[in-house]
């Protein structure tokens, strides 16, 4: 594989860790349309915290020292926002996001735009590998026509495609790109072998070669759909046991003593995977005339949990004699998961908006989230880190909601944030002095 030169399209949570690992063995050109992101990475820092600075800097190559478009054998990571710089690559790996729109429909805009860009630089013999989560058939039905249109080349004659679904778990330093088995596939048997060999060169956990692009696409989308359904089940159990006055976590602990009981816990289901991917599968199912009942039922339950949490907080406040309208509520955490700065599709926003609908004044504190990103995405001004002092807050709160279990929150006595009789609600089930929890 001496002639391999890889272009990675999209340098976010998925693309950057992949680019860094490939850069240890091959010349890699990382491309992103966001100039600020490219500048940040050139300076040796990743604001997503998926790659630590030392790791990133160990593979970075000075773009000014080498003519980037002429790199042949120099291993390392070159970074650019100039499309022409990736023209000399022969493998293109697409790692752009695939979100849903406000109607829960797949939004392939980033994927189509990335395909257009690649089409403008595609050459005979090149291989385009998609990692972005899609519904089965999207690569051949949606992406390939764009590649053909913008390149003037013919699929499986002049150029070829692969699909190797991303398995990055943001914030997880144990299960990383090289330690998670990789599913690979190709549009022809020869392409499948080439794609598999490429990933085998860097993925220590090995690979699984799927027999077709559609199988690989389907495998990814059901991984997260399965998790979504299991969480929906325990979320529904939490609602039932709450009415019955039974502690859900104690029930799960008892049931978990059986060897084959799956250890899922209730909670808010957000992020760019579990809360999104099932809609890609249901969209395709409905397109071919099948109405998926179980998957959509699970989605409805999980999408309703934010408003459920808010209603439980309000009920507890009423029981303690608070006037809900005009009350002060503190929400701890806005990212979609603990110890991670990723705010994409965070369902904490549902809790916040519902509390505001009840008339509450809601403050939000999150030491992991980027304040500018939160303001742009959710129109929320976070409490500044410099102003958050548990002993000397400007005001005490009538209710405190632990929404995300960041390490910084675990050793806090949340009662100190309150006014003496405040409601403490624990969404994550990690504190002992809570008045309520899922």
State the Cα–Cα distance between residues 364 and 387, nearest whole angstrom.
Answer: 12
DSSP conformation letters of 75-126 = -EEEEES-GGGGTT-SEEEE-----B-TTS-B--HHHHHHHHHHHTT--TT-
Q: Are 249 and 429 in contact (CB under 8 A)?
A: yes
- Burial classification of residue 331, based on how many CB atoms lie within 10 Å of its CB (0-12 exposed, 13-18 middle, 19 or more buried): buried
* Gap between the Cα atoms of 147 and 159, Å rounded: 9
Residue 29, SS3 per DSSP: strand
CA angle, 252 then 258 then 260, to 5°: 100
What's the 3-state SS for 356-371? HHCCCEEEEECCCCCH
Respond yes or no: is residue 143 known to be catalytic: no
Determine the Cα–Cα distance for residues 142 and 55; give it in Å rounded to an integer: 36
**CB proximity list for 68: less than 8 A, separation 6 or greater:** 29, 78, 80, 85
Tokens of 111: 């994927």
Helix (H) or strand (E) holding 182: strand 182-184
Task: Indicate which residue of 143, 273, 340, 360 is catalytic.
Answer: 273
- Spacing of C-alpha 184 from chain mean position: 20
Residues labelled catalytic: 273
């Amino acid at each position: 594989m001496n002639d391999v030169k890889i272009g990675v399209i999209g340098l976010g949570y998925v693309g950057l860790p992949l680019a860094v690992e490939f850069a240890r063995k091959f010349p890699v050109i990382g491309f992103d349309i966001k100039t600020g992101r490219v500048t940040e990475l050139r300076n040796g820092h990743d604001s997503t915290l998926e790659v630590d600075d030392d790791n990133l800097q160990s593979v970075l190559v000075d773009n000014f020292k080498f003519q980037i478009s002429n790199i042949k054998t120099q291993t390392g990571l070159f970074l650019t926002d100039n499309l022409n710089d990736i023209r000399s690559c022969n493998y293109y790996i697409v790692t752009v996001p695939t979100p849903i729109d406000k109607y829960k429909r797949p939004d392939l805009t980033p994927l189509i735009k990335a395909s257009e860009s690649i089409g403008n630089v595609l050459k005979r013999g090149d291989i385009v590998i998609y990692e972005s989560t899609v519904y089965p058939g999207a690569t051949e039905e949606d992406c390939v026509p764009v590649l053909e249109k913008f390149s003037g080349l013919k699929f499986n004659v002049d150029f070829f495609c692969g699909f190797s679904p991303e398995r990055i778990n943001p914030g997880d330093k144990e299960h990383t790109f090289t330690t998670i088995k990789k599913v690979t596939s190709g549009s022809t048997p020869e392409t499948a072998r080439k794609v598999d060999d490429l990933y085998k060169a860097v993925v220590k956990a090995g690979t699984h070669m799927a027999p077709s692009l559609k199988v690989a696409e389907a495998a990814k989308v059901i991984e997260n759909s399965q998790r979504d359904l299991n969480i929906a089940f325990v979320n529904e159990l939490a609602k039932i046991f709450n009415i019955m006055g039974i502690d859900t976590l104690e029930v799960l602990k008892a049931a978990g003593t059986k060897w084959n009981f799956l250890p899922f816990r209730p909670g808010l289901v957000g992020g760019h995977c579990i809360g999104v991917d099932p809609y890609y599968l249901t969209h395709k199912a409905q397109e071919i005339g099948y109405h998926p009942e179980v998957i959509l039922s699970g989605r409805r339950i999980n999408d309703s949990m934010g408003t459920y949490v808010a209603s439980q907080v309000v009920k507890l406040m009423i029981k303690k004699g608070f006037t809900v309208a005009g009350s002060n509520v503190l929400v701890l955490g806005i990212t979609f998961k603990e110890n991670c700065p990723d705010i994409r599709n965070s369902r904490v926003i549902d809790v916040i908006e519902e509390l505001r609908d009840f008339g509450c004044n809601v403050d939000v504190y999150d030491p992991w989230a980027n304040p500018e990103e939160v303001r742009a995405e959710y129109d929320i001004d976070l409490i500044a880190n410099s102003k958050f002092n548990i002993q000397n807050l400007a005001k005490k709160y009538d209710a405190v909601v632990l929404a995300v279990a960041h390490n910084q929150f675990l050793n806090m006595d949340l009662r100190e944030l309150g006014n003496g009789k405040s409601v403490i609600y624990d969404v994550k089930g990690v504190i002992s002095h809570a008045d309520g929890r899922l």
